[in-house]
Structures are given as structure tokens and as C-alpha cells.
Amino acid sequence: MNPTGSDSCTPIDISEQDVLEAMKKIQGYIDISPGDFKEVFTIAYNHAMQRIKDSLTAQDIMTRPVHCVGLGMDLVQTALFLAENKLSGAPVVDADGSIAGVISEKDFLAKMGLGASTSFMQIIAHCLTNKGCMAMALRNHPVQKIMTAPALTAGPEMTIGAISTLFVDRQINRLPIVDTEGRPVGIVTRTNLVQSYCVIR
Amino acid sequence: MQFLQKMRGKGQAPPRVSVAEVCWSWIGSFIGIAAVALLHYKVVDQNALVLLIGSFGASAVLIYGAIRSPLAQPRNLLGGHILSACIGVTAFQWLGVYPWLAAAVAVSTSIALMHLTRTLHPPGGATALIAVIGGESVHRLGYLYVVMPAALGACVMLIIALLINNIPKNRRYPEFWF
């Protein structure tokens, strides 16, 4: 019923009993069996979800303005910048303001020396057992060296349905939205997506 | 196996309506049928014509007892009776020598036509059938049967439905006209 379940709230699982209760509340004889109503409801619900997925676009749900990291910043500056703005990632822009890549916690963790799929908890465990902080390895590196590039971006017209699919297929958590010149105008995160689906409800 | 499985039916029946709904259904159908029957016995019958036919009893169930139903809306009530009456009379006139065939053709063709014109109204099937099996008093009407009893009777019932069904504040008729 809902192939991209991880991105959306689960659809209402309406029972025939629910339909019967509703029919009792409505004055008059309703010329449909509860089972048939449920079938109509389910199809209509999916239709509505599809319509909303196709009508809501990136510009309706994105966070703006977007905080960007400069290409010239080093990792200490980047970490401070992200911490100050309570972000877990941001687009990286060059001197013209065009997008050059995306930097996120994942890139930092990968740089800290335990391989590409290092998790935060692995780093903690490693630090505690070795009595050392692996973050020192991040000193004196420019952001350019560890960011994910080229960045995966989208235009403001991309539908939330297409964005959801992209998030699942590419296993990403944020998608910078760029104008025609490639400058970031906003960012769609998983949080934005979840909120958009729950507002729909 | 699945063919037999389907015959078991696994759905539930709709709930019973409120007492108020029962009362308004009774009042509407009493007045509706009374109006048609009075006209029939006091005026029309004395001129050897017909206004009251059995299918109006079935229409009363819908337009006074199940007023939300798509089958009970004016488009269906009028369209169903008028189109089915045409089919019924035609079936009798063309196939009347084989009454069983005329009866079957009248009902089945009127259902098909009502579907195609989105005027499905179950009593229409009875109107078509009565045109074939209604006896001499119906047969001699010819295509007048379409106008009276079918169209005129349905109109009288519709007027009563509009008047009675809209009295209670949580009842409303029709859902749509055409």
C-alpha cells in the first residue's frame, strides 16, 4: 500500500467497524456496505496522497535561508559553524556562491579514521578504550578535502514524492535546493519531509 | 473453489437507521403513494387510464426510505421510469407474441440503458416489465404509458419527496438533480 513507508506516516488503517460507527452517526440509510466503503476510502486515500506528493514541491517545504559553509573554511571553522547553527550538515559554496559540495557529520566521522561507514557510537567506543580523541585528526584540513562532491542538488519545483524516492535511493539526509545559477536557495532535510507528510494528515 | 468461496460473502450489513428516520420514511411514502393513488382512483381510472403501477411502490422505498442513495435521485427516478417505459412498450409491441421473450428483453434492455445513461433506478425494471405483463389496460395505452403512468406518476412522487424529505433539519433531498 505504501512502498516508501520509511518516509511517510503510515496510512490510516480504517476498519469496517469504524465505518459502521460512522454510518450510525449519520442520519439516513446509506446505500453502501461497510466493506465497499472501506475499499473506496483506501483508494481515495492513496489517490489523495499521490496528489499531494505531486503537488507539494521543494520550495513549499524547504528550510530557508540555508546556512552555507565557505569552500575556504577549515574543519575547525566548519565544525564551529555547524555547532553554532545547530546543524548536522550544510552545503559548501565557492566564492561566487555556487554550490561545490555538501558537508555533514558523516564526512567528519569518515575522516576520523574508522572507515567510510563509521558511526558516532563507534567513535565514542574507540575514544574511551584508547584514551584519546580522534577528532585531533581533523585539524588543519580544509572542508574541501572531506566534503561530498559533486553535490546532489535539485530545483525548487521537485515534488516531495520525487525527493522521498531520491532520499531512499541515494541514502542521503539533506538535499540543497538551487536556483538556475546553482546557488543554494534552501535545503530539504528528512525533518522537512516528515513534517510535510504529517501536516498532510 | 474461489467461485464457491465468493458466495459466502464476508462483508457486514449496514446498521439499522434511527427511529426518526423510520418515521419520516413512513410519512413520506404514505403521502407519496396516497397522492398517486388518489389521482388514480378519483380521476384517471374513471377515464379508463392508469396512473398507479406497482413499480411506484419500489420507487417509494428509495425516494422516501433511502434518500441519500444515488439510485433515489431525481435524475434516476425520472430517467429510469421514462426510459424503461419506452423499452417496455417497444418490447411488447415488437415481441408481444412471445411474452416470455418480451418480458426478458424489456427488463434486461432497460437495465442496460439505465446504466449507459447513468439513470439506474431499480423500479425502472418493474416499469418495463409491467408494460409487457400489465394486461389489456396497460397494452392499449401504447406509448402513452411512457407519459402516464410512468413520467407523471414519478413526477407526483418526486414533488412529495421534495416537500416531505426536506422538513427534518438533518434530512436533505436531493443530493443532486441531473
A7 falls in which pLDDT band (50, 70, 90)?
A: very low
Pairing between β-strand A89-93 and β-strand A69-70 as defined by DSSP bridges: parallel
DSSP string, A88-130: SEEEEE-TTS-EEEEEEHHHHHIIIII-TT--HHHHHHHHHHH
pLDDT mean by block of 10 residues, chain B; 178 residues: 84 87 96 97 90 96 94 96 98 96 98 96 97 94 95 97 94 90
* SS3 label, residue A74: strand
State pLDDT tens for residues A134-160.
677 777 788 888 898 888 999 999 998
Q: Quote the Cα angle for B7-B67-B111, to 5°.
A: 55
Distance between CA atoms of residues A89 and B21, nearest Å: 62
Amino acid identity at B111: I
What's the Cα-to-Cα distance from B80 to each of A37, A111, B56, B72, B146, rounded to whole Å?
Answer: 25, 77, 12, 10, 11
A22 touches chain B (CB under 8 A): no
Q: Which residue of B has its CA nearest to A39?
A: B11
What ipTM goes with this model? 0.72
Closest in A16, A20, A29 to B21, CB measured: A29
Q: Taking the model in full, what pTM does it have?
A: 0.68
Interface of chain B toward chain A, CB-CB under 8 angstroms? 10-15, 17-18, 20-21, 65-72, 168, 170-171
Is A31's CB within 8 Å of B12's CB? no
Q: What number of C-beta contacts closer than 8 Å exist between A and B?
A: 49
Q: Cell 424529505 identifies what position?
A: B165
Which pLDDT belongs to residue B12?
81
Largest CA distance in chain A: 76
Which pLDDT belongs to residue A200?
57
A36 touches chain B (CB under 8 A): yes
Give A173: exposed, middle or buried? Use CB within 10 Å, 0-12, 13-18, 19+: middle
Question: Of A63-72, A124-133, B40-49, B87-96, which one has max mean pLDDT?
Answer: B87-96
Enumerate the residues of chain B whose CB falls inside 8 A of the CB of residue A16: 11-12
Q: What is the DSSP letter of A159?
A: B
Is the link from the previous residue into A65 a cis peptide, with omega within 30 of 0? yes
